[in-house]
């Protein structure tokens, strides 16, 4: 399959008074045409920073891409100037943010906010842009779009606003859509509608989606492939089936276990004990070692190699090493 976007060994750091925070520490993944890749992980694991780096939206200073490549259809984005990057933003790669209540400008009409992107990127008249925007609003399921174009964001509900944000991001027919927790701020019924909308749109337009979330329920519904991030690194990738049924990394297993279940008698939540490492001075070995049930001596000293379990299923954990399998299990 054609690779639309490739991220190779991406490192992003933030300079603060306390020192350098290494938020993303060598992230590598590919995004294929027409697929949905979910990046999951807890707060602060670097998933949003990764997505914003792709759009080069990291405020610099303090943030900086210190190493790595981001290729959009073989074209490197990291070294592009701001002016060149502007042609890509919104036109080739676009982004949806978490909170639809604040993502729209309260003082501009919704229609203007949708059309200005097309007018910026495509050489078309105001009328054509307007027509295109109405079409888009229809696609995302906003009733009577023509009259809605003339309204302001405060006249829409949260779910409607997220639909508008989605329409806005798709209006230039981008190839990649990055959705940074698009449903976190919405209630569950609206969430389901928006996720349906994503699937629907992908079928119609063939856009590739990167979905950033910490909600495994959302992931299970829409993702084709899943990348699990922890402390600035991707620790396990695989297709949906592989991650949900054959997860190998102890962190992924812990995440899956911590999802509250309706079919289990005891209502207790099962959290992963401990907290993520300090990214001012990340550990040399596996960042999860301190919280892992199966820690071995090697885990704390050397970062694990990548093990390939199937074509798509990759995991970075010493437990997958041949030598580890010979050891006696001694859970502490």
Partner 1 sequence: MVTYIFKRFFAMIVTLWLIITLTFFLMHSLPGSPFNEERTTSEAVQKNLEAHFNLDKPLPVQYVSYLKSVIQLDFGPSIKKPSDTVNEMLGRGFPVSFELGMLTLLVAIISGITLGVFAALRHNGIVDYIAMTIAVFGISIPNFVMATLLIQQFAVNWGILPVATWKSWQHMVLPTLALATGPMAIIARLTRSSMLEVLTQDYIRTAVAKGLSPFKIVFKHALKNALLPVVTVLGTLAAGILTGTFVIEQIFAIPGMGKYFVDSINNRDYPVIMGTTVFYSALLIFLLFLVDIAYGILDPRIKLHKGEGK
- CA distance between the termini of the chain: 44
Residue (165 or 272) nearer to partner 1, CB: 165
Work out how close the CB of 117 gets to partner 1 at its nearest, in angstroms, rounded to a whole number. Answer: 4
Among residues 43, 79, 81, 107, which is the contact residue for partner 1, using CB under 8 A? 107
Which C-beta is closer to partner 1: that of 89 or that of 233?
89
Which one of residues 20, 30, 42, 116 is an interface residue with partner 1 (CB under 8 A)? 116
Q: How far apart are CA 232 and CA 44, in angstroms?
A: 8
Tokens of 218: 């959302």
- E strand residue ranges, the chain: 3-16, 19-32, 36-40, 63-72, 75-76, 93-96, 176-180, 208-213, 225-230, 233-239, 306-308, 314-316
The answer for residues whose C-beta is within 8 angstroms of residue 150's C-beta and 6 or more apart is 109, 110, 111
Candidates 99-107, 132-140, 268-276, 285-293; binding stretch for partner 1 (CB under 8 A): 99-107
Pick from 38, 95, 212, 219: which binds partner 1 (CB under 8 A)? 95
Distances (CA, A) of 12 to 3, 111, 212, 282: 23, 36, 17, 13
Which of 28, 120, 138, 205 lies at the binding interface for partner 1 (CB under 8 A)?
A: 120
List all residues 6 or more positions away from 303 whose beta carbon is below 8 Å from its beta carbon: 284, 285, 286, 316
| Position among 27, 134, 142, 168 found at the interface with partner 1 (CB under 8 A) | 168
CA atoms 279, 284, 287, 293: torsion sign: negative
Chain residues 53-72 in contact with partner 1, contact rule CB under 8 A: 55, 57
Smallest gap from residue 88 Cβ to partner 1 (A): 7
145 touches partner 1 (CB under 8 A): no
Per DSSP, 109 falls in state -
Stretch that binds partner 1, among 8-16, 93-101, 132-140, 259-267 (CB under 8 A): 93-101
For position 111 contacting partner 1 by CB under 8 A, the verdict is: no
Cα–Cα distance between 63 and 22 in angstroms, integer? 10
DSSP label of 276: P
Contact segment (CB under 8 A) with partner 1 among 85-93, 127-135, 273-281, 304-312 equals 85-93
- The yes or no reply on residue 94 touching partner 1 (CB under 8 A) is yes
91 or 190: whose CB is closer to partner 1? 91
List 49, 88, 166, 229, residue binding partner 1 (CB under 8 A): 88
Burial classification of residue 85, based on how many CB atoms lie within 10 Å of its CB (0-12 exposed, 13-18 middle, 19 or more buried):
middle
Residues engaged in binding partner 1 (CB under 8 A): 55, 57, 86-91, 94-95, 97, 99, 102-108, 116-117, 120-121, 152, 154-155, 165, 168-169
């Amino acid at each position: 399959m054609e690779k639309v976007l490739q991220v190779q060994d991406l490192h992003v750091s933030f300079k603060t008074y306390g020192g350098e925070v290494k938020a993303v520490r060598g992230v590598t993944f590919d995004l294929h045409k027409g697929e949905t890749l979910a990046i999951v992980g807890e707060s602060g694991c670097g998933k949003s920073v990764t997505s914003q780096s792709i759009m080069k939206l990291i405020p610099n200073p303090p943030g900086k891409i210190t190493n790595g490549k981001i290729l959009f259809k073989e074209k490197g984005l990291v070294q592009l100037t701001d002016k060149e990057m502007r042609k890509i933003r919104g036109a080739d790669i676009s982004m949806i943010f978490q909170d639809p209540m604040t993502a729209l400008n309260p003082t501009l009409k919704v229609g203007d906010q949708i059309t200005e992107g097309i007018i910026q990127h495509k050489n078309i008249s105001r009328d054509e842009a307007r027509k295109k925007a109405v079409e888009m609003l229809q696609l995302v399921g906003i009733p009577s779009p023509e009259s809605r174009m003339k309204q302001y964001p405060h006249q829409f509900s949260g779910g409607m606003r997220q639909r508008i944000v989605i329409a806005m991001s798709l209006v230039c027919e981008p190839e990649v859509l990055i959705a940074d927790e698009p449903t976190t701020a919405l209630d569950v019924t609206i969430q389901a509608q928006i996720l349906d909308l994503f699937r629907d749109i992908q079928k119609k337009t063939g856009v590739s989606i990167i979905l950033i979330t910490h909600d495994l329920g959302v992931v299970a519904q829409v993702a084709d492939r899943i990348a699990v991030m922890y402390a600035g690194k991707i620790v396990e990738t695989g297709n949906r089936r592989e991650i949900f049924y054959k997860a190998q990394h102890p962190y992924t297993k812990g995440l899956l276990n911590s999802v509250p279940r309706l079919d289990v008698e005891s209502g207790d939540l099962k959290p992963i004990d401990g907290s993520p490492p300090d990214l001012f001075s990340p550990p040399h070995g596996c960042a999860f070692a301190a919280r892992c049930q199966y820690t071995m001596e090697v885990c704390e000293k050397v970062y694990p190699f990548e093990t390939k379990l199937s074509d798509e299923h990759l995991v970075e954990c010493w437990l997958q090493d041949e030598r580890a399998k010979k050891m006696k299990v001694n859970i502490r």
